[in-house]
Chains A and B, each alone.
Chain A
Amino acid sequence: MSDPAPLIRARGIRRSYAVGDRTLEILHGVDLDLYPGERLCLMGASGTGKTTLLNILGLLDRPTAGSVHIEGRDGWSLSVAERAELRNQRMGYVFQFYHLFAELNAVENAVLPAMIHHGAMAYMSHRKEYRDRALDLLTRFGLAERLKHRPGKLSGGEQQRVAIARALLLNPPILIADEPTGNLDRATGEKVLELLFAEQERRGLGLLLVTHDDSLAERCDRVIYMEDGLIRGQRVLRSVGGSTDSPELPSGEATAPA
């Protein structure tokens, strides 16, 4: 196989919650790969566990069983600090509700990942570089007039664009977006998506996207359908990386529940 190595390789992901005195399993053993440059879409009814899965893949939530390899490293067997570093350097997150800091203006929000990465001294010596990068992104996203605005003074679409700039600031190879347009009207969502896809293409990112929007799914390279905590099938629209011959995903068939 001459496939490029996957950015994310998840195997046998299970996640259960303790609800009262019984445990409720949300994910029943999910396998998933994300390849560089791939635009992967995750679809499924509400409550099937898409967000739960994304949090696990994004190293925010520990699976009850299974493994997540990020660029070959087992994310959940790393130390807390190493995992934090992976999140900071290798992944960008875009949330449905933007999740910006209300106290910071657009530029400050966008440079936050760099501030987290560096200590005070190191950051100050690279400050201009990061600010320029943030300004560049925000300007490209049409926010040149909104740089000093706090989130409270920005529209939903503008806030999401700041969030995307933040996610891209440190040039991570992986971008995880959970219903990034779910909170926006169609026209605005369209614009934000346009911009997201453009960046994805330009940078060759592996994009993992959750959506309920079929027309959006159409524009992805591959669509994975989830149902009740399992992957029920996938549709390959364009072959990117090794996605076509992902062994665990025979078309239309779910991975067997254990």
Chain B
Amino acid sequence: MYRFFLSQRYIRMRPINWIGTLSIFVAVSALILILAIMSGFLEKSREHLRGHLSDLVIAPSFDIPLNSNGQTPPRAAGPILEAVRAHPSVQAAAAQMVWFGMLVPPRGETVLSDPSGMGMVMVSFVGVDIPDEYGATSLRKDLEIKVENGLPGQRPENLDDPFAYPKDYERDPDERPLDCILMGERLAANWGLRKGDQVELATATLDPDTGSFRQAANRTVVLAGTYRSTFNEMDLSRIYMKREALADWLGRHGQYSQLVVKLRDYERDWVQTKADLRQELGQRGLIHPSPKTYTPGDFGWEIQTWEDSRHSMLAAIENERALLGIMLGLVLLVAGFGVFAILSMMVSEKRRDIGILSALGATPKGILTLFLSIGGLEALVGAFLGVVMGVYAAHNINDFELWLSSTFGIQIFDRKVYYFDHIPTVIEWGGIVLIAVAAVGTALVAAAIPALRAAYLNPVDALRYE
């Protein structure tokens, strides 16, 4: 009984003991907050790394012969689309034509007169099929999205045919019909473009005979609407048009450059699906045949998962996690030291009491548990409050940061620097429980040292003190 009674009495009567609790509290709440923010950032980074990447991208090398008789992969998308869609793990697939080019300034200047690059912008042209594209990518969502500070009325009117002329577009009856494009909201805003404006595009094409680039005729197109994805630089650099229209502009040497594939369950199926498709498509001569056995890390060929194409960056993120773990361990170590220091002090201060307890019949084991429970009790209270505080702080970090910057003018989180407009946090309960348990465990280990010292204190020495 005395262990419980004395431990709680010691803690209550000696405010200095709260330093141990405080150190655990601060460590646990800080760890939870750090974990939440770091996990948030890592998750965002991962998301960001993934960007618009589809689960799988199949991009045959059309110019390399499949076999000795010089046959190359078919340029039409039909057969390969059919073959890919037949796989049970595939939810949707769409053919894309991707090419590079430039947006020519509308003020009449030409691209070439502006060698500094200012006033023009490199873009990718992405030729897509509607509605295939909607099934395989987030395009439909990006076209539907409504944002508070977005430009109103710039989205295309009819999502079933987003490349139609805007309603109020006045077509010059004499001109030949123009193609319509979709561009990122930010890009349109930067250029002061509105729905229905005409835009000029420039590109160069590869001459299939000589293998060299030559400038293609510029094209005037109509902005049919804007989209907004969650990825800034993608919004600034992607221009969608009909696949047909792009292929036509580029001279119809190819009809598609890649398939984007969405799987039903990426995490579960990607390994098997990738292997299956390699074999299947390779056998049918739709892509180049490759060895049967799949070797991990072998991502240099025609079928890539999104992780394949971000391999080294993802590895860096995982490194970050390991580093995070080490840092968290260090924080706990410091907290444990707080408990150790306070309890050591207490044991020294309470030598006499320890001697009396011995004289009154307490065993060394009892004295050990007395001091362990002081450390444990402190840690439990600290860990509990720390969890409450940490989770609360993680939930409200953005409000807190805003308050800080508006009250003191300190800007901790510069929204211009990051791709996201708030501090991302992820509450991982598994991690939180782990932190709390580790904190209490560390405190107990730290408490064990002074507790053992107390238990093996010679009562006679202890009592000689006055």
Question: Which A residues form the contact surface with B (CB < 8 A)?
Answer: 55, 58, 60-61, 80-81, 84-89, 93, 95, 97, 99, 101, 103-104, 112-120, 122-124, 166
Contact = CB atoms under 8 A, between A and B. Distances in A.
Most buried by A among B359, B365, B366: B359
B17 to A, nearest CB: 11
A84 B9 contact: no
B417 interface: no
Contacts of A95: 463
A151 to B, nearest CB: 12
B273 to A, nearest CB: 61
B110 interface: no
A112 B359 contact: no
Most buried by B among A95, A97, A103, A119: A103
Nearest to B2: A115
Contacts of B458: 61
Contacts of B355: 99
Contacts of B2: 112, 115-116
Interface in B351-368: 352-353, 355-366
Nearest to A79: B363
B285 interface: no
A42 B361 CA distance: 24
A87 B360 contact: yes
B327 interface: no
Contacts of B459: 60-61
Interface of B: 1-2, 4-6, 9-10, 13-14, 352-353, 355-366, 458-460, 463, 466
Contact of A80 (B353, B356, B364): B364
A87 B361 contact: yes
Most buried by B among A86, A87, A122: A87
A208 B151 CA distance: 97
Contact of B460 (A61, A113, A117, A122): A61
Contact of A116 (B9, B14, B360, B460): B360
B164 to A, nearest CB: 80
A119 B463 CA distance: 25
7 contacts: A84-B366, A86-B361, A89-B361, A99-B359, A101-B356, A116-B2, A116-B360
B357 A116 contact: yes
Contacts of A93: 359-360
A69 to B, nearest CB: 18
Nearest 5 interchain pairs by C-beta: A88-B361, A123-B1, A115-B2, A115-B1, A103-B13
Nearest to B10: A103
B13 A84 contact: no
Contacts of A166: 360
B360 A88 contact: yes
Given A103-B13, A124-B1, A116 B366 contact: yes
A115 B361 CA distance: 10
A61 B9 CA distance: 29
B55 to A, nearest CB: 59
Contact of B360 (A103, A112, A124): A112
